[in-house]
Amino acid sequence: MEPLNVRDYEALARAKMEETAWDYFAGGVEDEFSVTENETAFRQVKLRPRMLVDVTQRDLSTTVVGTPLAFPVILAPTTYQRLAHPDAELAVARAAAAMGVVPCLGTGNHYSIEEIAAEVKVPLWFQPYWYSNRTIIERLVRRAEDAGCRALVATVDASYPGRRERQLRRKLIVPPDIEQRNLVGIGLEEHPVTLPGATQPIIAAAGGFIALTWDDIAWLRRLTRLPLLIKGILTAEDAVMAVEHGVEGIVVSNHGARQVDTVISSIEALPEVADAVGGKAELVLDSGVRRGTDVLKALALGARAVMIGRPFLWGLAVGGEAGVRQILEIFRAEIDTNMAQLGRPTIASIDRTMVKAPADWTRTAP
């Protein structure tokens, strides 16, 4: 069967991947209710198509914090991509370059920032993980700046590991051919910290997780002139704090339901965040995006783009660089077709009137 959509790639990846690695990609926390909910919540948003609009010419291009995108999809930072394919982040970056979108590199990637920057001429974003010693974070940030990265993404919802029961049951032993080259020689050996119960042994052993507060965001903001996005915000209250701390962007995300179960889904959180931010920061949404219509709903409710995580990992597992490119082509085609169906020929023509969402999604306080 010729794979036509992202779900087809999910099935192919599952059949191909070793079970422990599959569980690492697919899993959430505890009962994993939110893994499903992240996807089904999009169904609560209904589309309102407009007729008799000339949609013969469509333009899917946009920008996020100044970075151009051929269409509004960004590849989310994910650790251990090499579990899917030996070319890992290199393949992902090449596919992104071919399609005109941005990969967000992660600290825990196999290939280093410099290796990827040397390979592809595409704007890169970088997600520095937090370590208890700020010198290490500063070194990572300087390397991202020197390599020409166009934005930093500070993840704030993973300073403590969630209870990922699939991983606790079936321990992921990271194969020796998977390295974390960004961390080699960065000084971590001087600051080893292990955290009891950590489910991500390498990261925990390498640097540990820290008690993160808004002071750390203020510090990071002062440290760099690169556009800063804060990833993992789900409430109006935190969105206001983020704006007060001078970030250029907010990634409305529940980390693909990998941190807390029965959490609010990102699409449900988006309207209240958008209202609270009032255009003072640019919004990106991730968690559960599987269709072009999901992307368009996120745009209608206030995001400028989405990040996808698992879908491109499925593509990577199935076909390496070509597989990731196919996933991106599917998203682009679905976005394009549905923009035509909805009478919205440009990204700028998409607004809240394109959707009907549950009224209480804009309510901020419980």
Query: Which parts of this chain interact with ligand FMN (CB under 6 A)?
Result: 24-25, 38, 76-79, 106, 108, 127, 155, 231, 253, 255-256, 258, 286-289, 307-310
Contacts of 174 (CB under 8 A, 6+ apart): 80, 201, 202
Residue 110 a catalytic site member: no
Helix (H) / strand (E) element for 24: namely: helix 19-26
Given the residues 85, 110, 191, 255, select the one marked as catalytic.
Answer: 255
Helix (H, G, I), strand (E, B), or coil: what is residue 68?
Answer: strand
Residue 62: how many CB atoms within 10 A of its CB?
A: 18
User: Which residue lies nearest ligand FMN, judged by its C-beta?
Assistant: 309
Q: Which one, of 358, 329, 331, 353, lies nearest residue 342 by Cα? A: 353
State in angstroms the smallest separation of the CB of 26 from ligand FMN: 8
Helix (H, G, I), strand (E, B), or coil: what is residue 76?
Answer: coil
Our CB check for ligand FMN shows the closer of 39 and 321 to be 39
Our CB check for ligand FMN shows the closer of 127 and 326 to be 127
Phi, psi of 127, deg, nearest 5: -110, 100
State in angstroms the smallest separation of the CB of 21 from ligand FMN: 9
H-type alpha helices, 188-309 = 201-206, 214-223, 236-244, 266-277, 292-300
State in angstroms the smallest separation of the CB of 348 from ligand FMN: 25
B/e letters for 34-58, b = 16+ CB within 10 Å, e = fewer, are bbebbbebbeebeeeeeeeeebeee
State in angstroms the smallest separation of the CB of 108 from ligand FMN: 5
Residue 244: how many CB atoms within 10 A of its CB?
A: 12
State in angstroms the smallest separation of the CB of 218 from ligand FMN: 20
Our CB check for ligand FMN shows the closer of 256 and 315 to be 256
What the block records as the tokens of 200 is: 């991500």
Q: Active-site residues: which are they?
A: 255
